[in-house]
Amino acid sequence: MAIDRRGLLCLMGATAAVAACPQVARTESYPSRPVRILVGYSAGGGVDIAARLIGQWLSERLQQQFLVENRTGAATNIATEAVVRSPPDGYTLLLVNAANAINATYYESLSFDFMRDMAPVAGIGRFPYFMAVNPAFPANNVREFIAYANANPGKVNMGTGGAGGPDHASGELLQLMTGIRMTHVPYRGTAPALTDLLSGQVQMVFCTIPSAIQYVNAGTLRAIAVTSASRLDSMPEIPTVGETVPGFESAQWYGVGAPAGTPVAIIATLNKEIRAALADPTLKARIEELGGIPLSMSPEEFGKFLANETEKMARVIKAAGISVK
């Protein structure tokens, strides 16, 4: 049977296309190489723990390594900028947290716009704080704390892990909502703030539950409240700040972001797997052990959450008159 020239060219083209298909599929498959998750804090903290939990889950589910890289400095801005400047291909992600929402207003000269340059991928969890005091402090609950602070303006020292951090914002929010005036004492991290709370050098700290639970259980610190919207199932005996100050809610929160422009299909893959992680009984229990509440959201819902948190923190920071030029 004879084949004319046009038919031969068509046959050759079809053969080449079939041969190329496996390679095209492999190229478009995500992930086809290791993925980095940048964390703006040092290893061992809550943000880092959350990144490693999710990273391990994604590594097992997607059959590629999701490697956590701690890129500290400038209140997470160094890590954030590294991610937004990366190619939007899904191979560089950010463990976003409450500091990102705060920094959008707290820092007036950032070289990036968090809401514009970061694509929301998925939430991980909300992690409320203890409102913790030294046992010698003359307040057993939030109402007594406010009464003491009102009677002694500026004499209550509030320790934080650093100026402009989520715990600092929690204290500023409490002052705005109650009219009390405390003295802010910033430290280089939560650990030294708790050390001085234990010794009585400061009187109150908003601290993550994992960082302080051992002291609360031992009776060397008193948790007079949690900052979640409702009482925690794991410790229902501790009231919320909002039971005394209606509307008060504050928490550290974690999620995953990617550079703006990352393909929708890649974001959908990551979101699906992260939400599967949050539904897994073992991983969900681990988050709850850390005092967290799973934050399972679609990319669109997480984007709205980020926008609301950024707007809320902007109001607090502007009202408090704090910023870094």
pLDDT in tens, 147-201: 999 999 999 999 998 888 899 999 999 999 999 999 999 998 888 999 999 999 9
In a domain, 18, yes or no: no
Same domain, 118 and 136: no
Among 178, 212, 243, the domain boundary falls at 243
179 vs 182: CA distance, rounded Å: 10
Same domain for 132 and 122: no
Do the strands 251-259 and 183-186 form a parallel or antiparallel pair, or are they unpaired? unpaired
Number of domains in the chain: 2
Amino acid in position 199 = S
Helix (H) / strand (E) containing 184:
strand 183-186
Residue 90, Cβ density class (10 Å: 0-12 exposed, 13-18 middle, ≥19 buried): buried
Q: Is 138 in the same domain as 234?
A: yes
**Which positions ≥6 away from 108 have C-beta within 8 Å?**
323, 324, 325
User: Collapsing DSSP states into helix, strand and coil, what is residue 97?
Assistant: strand
Using 50, 70 and 90 to split pLDDT, how confident is the model at 80?
A: very high
Alpha helices in 3-45 (DSSP H): 5-28
Instruction: Report d(CA 324, CA 153) in Å as an integer.
Output: 25
CATH number assigned to the domain comprising residue 238:
3.40.190.10
**Based on the domain organization, do 267 and 208 belong to the same domain?**
no
| 118 and 133 assigned to the same domain | no
16 located within any domain: no
**The tokens 């989520």 sit on which residue?**
166
94-119 per-position pLDDT tens digit = 999 999 999 999 998 899 999 999 99
User: In this predicted model, what pLDDT tens digit does every residue of 222-279 receive, in sequence order?
Assistant: 999 999 999 998 899 999 999 999 999 999 999 999 999 999 999 999 999 999 999 9
Asked whether residue 13 is domain-assigned, the answer is no
Q: Is the pLDDT assigned to residue 10 strictly greater than 50?
A: no
pLDDT recorded at residue 325: 60
Q: Which of 200, 163, 186, 119 is nearest to 321 (CA)?
A: 163
How much of the chain exceeds pLDDT 70, in percent?
91
> Could you tell me the residue range of the domain that residue 233 belongs to?
128-243
Strands 204-208 and 251-259: unpaired
**Of 224, 243, 262, which one is at a domain's C-terminal end?**
243
Q: Considering the chain, what is the average pLDDT of its residues? A: 90
Residue % of the chain over a pLDDT of 90: 77
Within this chain, do residues 140 and 235 fall inside the same structural domain, yes or no? yes
Are 272 and 199 in a shared domain?
Answer: no
Largest Cα span, the chain: 104
Same domain, 200 and 102: no
Q: Is residue 1 part of a domain?
A: no
- The pairs formed by 134-139 with CB atoms below 8 angstroms and a separation of 24 or more are 134/197, 134/198, 134/200, 134/203, 134/221, 134/222, 135/219, 135/220, 135/221, 135/222, 136/200, 137/203, 137/204, 137/222, 139/224
Residue type, 303: G
- Residue ending a domain, among 193, 210, 243, is 243
Q: How confident is the model over 211-221, as pLDDT tens digits?
A: 899 999 999 99
Q: Give the separation between CA 81 and CA 94, rounded to whole angstroms.
A: 10
Taking the C-alpha atoms of residue 131 and residue 215, their distance in angstroms, rounded to an integer, is 13
